Amino acid sequence: MKESNLSDLLNRRLSLLGANLPLLAQCLHGIERECLRVTAEGRLAQTPHPHTLGSALTNEQITTDYSESLLEFITPALADPAKVLENLEEIHRFVYTGLGDEYLWSPSMPCPLPAEEDIPIAEYGTSNIGKLKHVYRKGLALRYGRTMQCIAGIHYNFSLPEALWPLLRDAEGSQDSDRDFQSKMYIGLIRNFRRYSWLLMYLFGASPALDAGFLRGRAHQLEQFDANTLYLPYATSLRMSDLGYQSNAQAGLTPCYNDLASYTDSLRRAVATPYPAYVEVGTHKDGEWVQLNTNVLQIENEYYSNIRPKRVTYTGERPIQALVARGVQYVEVRCLDINPFLPVGIDLAQSRFLDAFLLLCALDDSPQLDNAECSQCTSNFLAVVKEGRRPGLELSRKGQAISLTDWATDLLDRIAPFADLLDLAHGGEAHGNALAQQRARVEDPSLTPSARVLASMQQHQEGFAAFSMRQSLAHAQTLRSAPLSAEQQQAFEAQARESLVAQTRLEQEEVGDFDLFVGAYQASILAIST
């Protein structure tokens, strides 16, 4: 490891971490995994959310995302990533006890889909908050189409220990309050994530192909793999390419994360600024709600980004209100594909590497992003998602061309001291081994998940849907062959029952008209004082 690779600031911060190793074992991790329910024929399940899984509104671990068929599994935030992965696997095993003859779809890109209008939008019951969640999703359908909302991903939540920030602040002589220093450092992490996240797409992108019907006849530049499959030969993640969300309304919304205030202000403006095409549609059709409002964003979560600053919210509080009131608490990484070769879509080696990567992003120099660098970050990211495995691919670093391989190697060298410190804090060599696994992928692109997907399709002479279903069946067998203990099963069943009771109670105790509820919800964002 060459010292010249590290700045004085980064070396000082590494020394501080080294002197406070127990803190590094207190980072928190949480995972959210989305996946479609499909039939034995590999078609979208048209059945309601299984009653045995509880209420999608009030079950904290098993819910739905956009569609009634799009499940979302949520782990608690824990210090040990191995425990997080165990919990995620337990959720999967429990879900399979309630799925009947349905399956969990293995990759990020969806199965062959029915007509747009036959993709069911998630239902959350008759309470005002349940109806608000449903109308929000109707608005997403109106704005972006239902097809796009069937893409699934993995969100990785990560925080550094709260006790680390005052130590860093004092060591650097900052005059900021604890809250402001912590927020500033997390926003700095996000800027560096924008600079370096193309590396995650190369290493973990797993969607180089998709079902041809997904494009609904739209023009594209993909190649034909077979009659029903489109792909790009060097793509890593078509999910994260411009085939995904196409939003003219959001085009002007590009917070470059230079501070928390400008980020929250840009989202507040978007939630309060009418967008002509949505105004033309209105909020109601034939007396029914079709979208929550006619603004650029209905709510702040509609803004689609690869990473978000987050803060746990209180009941009834909006995400922006929490950020403005109490600052950034953790980050949510949103660009990760589901690995179709893994039963739960992610493994411990990936989690360990992400921790070291995010520590580098948090503690490395993070100068402000000007428009030119912002644009360069976006171009690098898009180049890697579309052709990241192309031999000789060059990216742009500080305006200069550099090969992906050289830059990736340099980044992995800079991540290495963080992997070493994490191993010292946790004991063992797991982080170093995870880093070595990624070095191998940089040296040999055929080891990347995206290359393995295409190789498996070619080997079995099958298209995207057949490959995905084969993986889905294999994972179902793995998960069903290791049932939960009676105690674990009972705990999940109790949680499901309690969530159904909680939803019923909400609906019975509901007071107030839905239209007034929406009005108050919209007004709450305008009332935030910065």
> How far are the Cα atoms of 141, 237, 404 from residue 381, in angstroms, in the given order?
26, 10, 11
Could you tell me what percent of the chain has a pLDDT over 90? 88
The conformation of residue 337, written as its DSSP 8-state character, comes to P
pLDDT per residue as tens digits for the range 14-71:
999 999 999 999 999 999 999 999 999 999 999 999 999 999 999 999 999 999 999 9
Q: Would strands 28-38 and 103-104 be described as parallel, antiparallel, or unpaired?
A: antiparallel
Residues found in the chain: 530
Confidence at residue 254, expressed as pLDDT on a 0 to 100 scale: 64
Q: Tell me which of 180-189, 232-241, 310-319, 448-457 is least confident.
A: 310-319
Average pLDDT, the chain: 94
pLDDT per residue as tens digits for the range 413-450:
999 999 999 999 999 999 999 999 999 999 999 999 99
Confidence at residue 525, expressed as pLDDT on a 0 to 100 scale: 75
Q: Which residues of 81-111 are buried (b: 16+ CB within 10 A; e: fewer)?
A: beebbebbbbbbbbbbbbbeebbbbbbbbbb
> How far are the Cα atoms of 195, 263, 264, 303, 454 from residue 369, in angstroms, in the given order?
9, 13, 17, 20, 36
Cα–Cα dist 199/107, whole Å: 20
Cα–Cα dist 334/155, whole Å: 5
Short-list 304, 188, 192, CA closest to 240: 304
> How far are the Cα atoms of 159, 176, 188, 329, 377 from residue 184, in angstroms, in the given order?
14, 9, 6, 11, 20
Tell me if residue 121 falls in helix, strand or coil.
strand
Residues contacting residue 519 through CB under 8 Å, at least 6 positions apart: none
pLDDT per residue as tens digits for the range 390-416:
999 999 999 999 999 999 999 999 999
pLDDT per residue as tens digits for the range 125-176:
999 999 999 999 999 999 999 999 999 999 999 999 999 999 999 999 999 9
What is the mean pLDDT of the segment spanning 280-284? 97
Which tops the pLDDT comparison, 305 or 349?
Answer: 349
User: Model confidence at 197, in pLDDT bands (50, 70, 90)?
Assistant: very high
Confidence at residue 2, expressed as pLDDT on a 0 to 100 scale: 39
Domain architecture of the chain: domains with CATH: 3-163+179-233+243-526 (3.30.590.20)
504 has pLDDT over 90: yes
Confidence at residue 170, expressed as pLDDT on a 0 to 100 scale: 96
Q: Rounded to two decimals, what is the model's pTM?
A: 0.96
pLDDT per residue as tens digits for the range 172-188:
999 999 999 999 999 99
| Residue-wise DSSP of 407-425 | HHHHHHHHHHHHHHHHHHH
